[in-house]
Chain A
Amino acid sequence: MSKIKLVSDGLVKNNPTFVLLLGMCPTLATTTSAINGMSMGLATLFVLVLSNMAISAIAPVVPDKVHIPVYIVVIATFVTLLQFLMQAYTPEMYETLGLFIPLIVVNCIVLGRAEAFANKHGVVDSALDGIGVGLGFTCSLTVLGLVREILGSGSAFGYNFIGGADGMLAFVMAPGAFLCLGYLMVLFNKYLKKN
């Protein structure tokens, strides 16, 4: 498998949000704005790349019966590391994403890639797969956040273009998240995935 294909697969063919439908909880909850969605995506990308690399490196010596606990410990370590770093250097972002940072531990994308890819492939391939899937997640969340922000608050990346008027509030709240996600999924699968 070519190296580029490993990355592009994660972006389109195996897009975690629109195709694999993994990690729906942070997807719906953190995409109230484009910036929030993007930060959540990048945080997951960070964990995904590191955990994929670590797990592919240790996979040959991990006994089959304890592989899940070992993987979870590795993933939880990286998530906690990320948590420390965010608290120290981006405290505001940490506050916005709040609970969803520690919840990356149980994000199915991370364990899913460890199980489905990293434990069968080399360190470099696994890192590329992590980058691909992580970028796929980041892009999906940014797009979803952008659509919801434009419709719901009338701004894009924090830049307000409708003055003092209100947006369609439903899109900032949970029902709008489901609606936007559904329609984006349809568009994605109809046009992008076919090529």
Chain B
Amino acid sequence: MAAKSSLTNMVAVLGLTCLVCSALLGGAYALTKEPIQAAAAQKTNNAIAQVLPHFTETEYNEQEQYYIAKDGDNLVGYAIISSVMGFGGELKLLVGITTDGVVYNTAVLSHSETPGLGAKCTTDAKFMDQWRGFDPSIKELAVRKDGGDVDAITASTITSRAYTQAVANALAMFALLNEMEAPDAVSGASVIKNEEGGQDNE
């Protein structure tokens, strides 16, 4: 059974235990560091591959949280991380937008919606498929209840609205990015730029 406690043996045993344990963990960290990074990179790549057509390399903009996907030298599109408040908490999407301003596809990165209701935004085929090739210049980006063209998930209007809002935010971001790259590419977008520029100066 346990040894009698004295200051020296308490300090010695605790110190030694901590030393051995931290050495062990340090070693394990060094060994698993690479596989962990590889797994994380694989995960992002899979998510981008899901929302954009074929690409060969990606570039990440940490500040604005989007990926630029390129096929050789050609710009394929942007995969924009867009997070909004859903019904149960943060709803984080990855929205793939090709250079023509059309949503290629969307994917949910993380959510805390109600299982069986809002959480269907990751399984409901009808809801998910409508984002494939969603062209905001033809369709109205709002759920049907609000007069738009987005079919909401049954009994989960709040989640559907949040999802729609996230896509809208991503599209707004795309418009900004697009004019930074090529100011004349999108007519009308320059108006937004002027307004925004004005606000920044004030």
* A66 and B10 in contact, given A58-B17, A60-B1, A73-B21 (Cβ under 8 angstroms): yes
Binds B, one of A19-27, A37-45, A74-82, A135-143: A74-82
Complex Cα distance, B73 from A164, in Å, reads 44
Question: In the complex, are the beta carbons of B4 and A87 less than 8 A apart?
Answer: no
| Stretch of B22-30, B128-136, B139-147, B175-183 that contacts chain A | B22-30
Q: Choose the segment among A8-16, A106-114, A167-175, A178-186 that binds chain B (4+ C-beta atoms closer than 8 Å).
A: A167-175
Q: Is the beta-carbon distance between A153 and B14 smaller than 8 angstroms?
A: no
Quote the shortest CB–CB distance from B177 to chain A (angstroms).
Answer: 29
Q: Mark B89-123, 1 if CB is under 8 A from A, else 0.
A: 00000000000000000000000001111000000
Chain B interface residue count: which class? 20 to 34
Closest Cβ–Cβ distance, residue A79 to chain B (whole Å): 10
Interface membership of B137, Cβ < 8 A: no
Contacts of A153 in B (CB 8 A): 116
A193 within 8 A of B: no
Binary contact readout B3-42 vs A (1 if CB under 8 angstroms, 0 otherwise):
1111001100110011001001100110010011001100
Q: Residues of B contacting A67 with CB < 8 Å?
A: 2
Q: A interface, by DSSP: helix, strand, loop or mixed?
A: helix
The residues in A between 49 and 98 inclusive whose CB is less than 8 angstroms from any CB of B are 58-67, 69-70, 73-74, 76-77, 80-81, 84-85, 87-89, 91
Task: Please determine whether A64 and B25 come into contact, CB atoms closer than 8 angstroms.
Answer: no
Number of A-B contacts (CB under 8 A): 85
Asked if A32 CB lies within 8 Å of chain B CBs, one says yes
Q: A73-B18, A73-B21, A169-B117 are in contact. Are A63 and B1 (CB under 8 A)?
A: no
Q: Is the CB of B18 within 8 A of A119?
A: no
In-complex Cβ contact of A77 among B1, B24, B115, B117 (8 A): B24
Q: Which 9 A-B pairs have the closest CB atoms?
A: A88-B35, A63-B5, A169-B116, A65-B5, A77-B21, A64-B2, A84-B32, A91-B39, A88-B32
With A65-B5, A119-B2 known, 18 other A-B pairs at CB within 8 A are A63-B3, A63-B10, A64-B4, A65-B10, A69-B14, A73-B17, A77-B25, A80-B28, A81-B25, A81-B28, A84-B29, A88-B32, A88-B35, A91-B36, A91-B43, A153-B116, A166-B116, A167-B116
Q: Which residues of B contact A (CB under 8 A)?
A: 1-6, 9-10, 13-14, 17-18, 21, 24-25, 28-29, 32, 35-36, 39-40, 43, 114-117
25 contacts between A and B (CB under 8 A): A32-B115, A61-B3, A62-B13, A64-B3, A64-B4, A66-B5, A66-B14, A70-B13, A73-B14, A76-B21, A77-B25, A80-B25, A84-B28, A87-B32, A87-B36, A87-B39, A88-B32, A91-B39, A152-B115, A152-B116, A153-B116, A169-B115, A169-B117, A172-B115, A173-B115
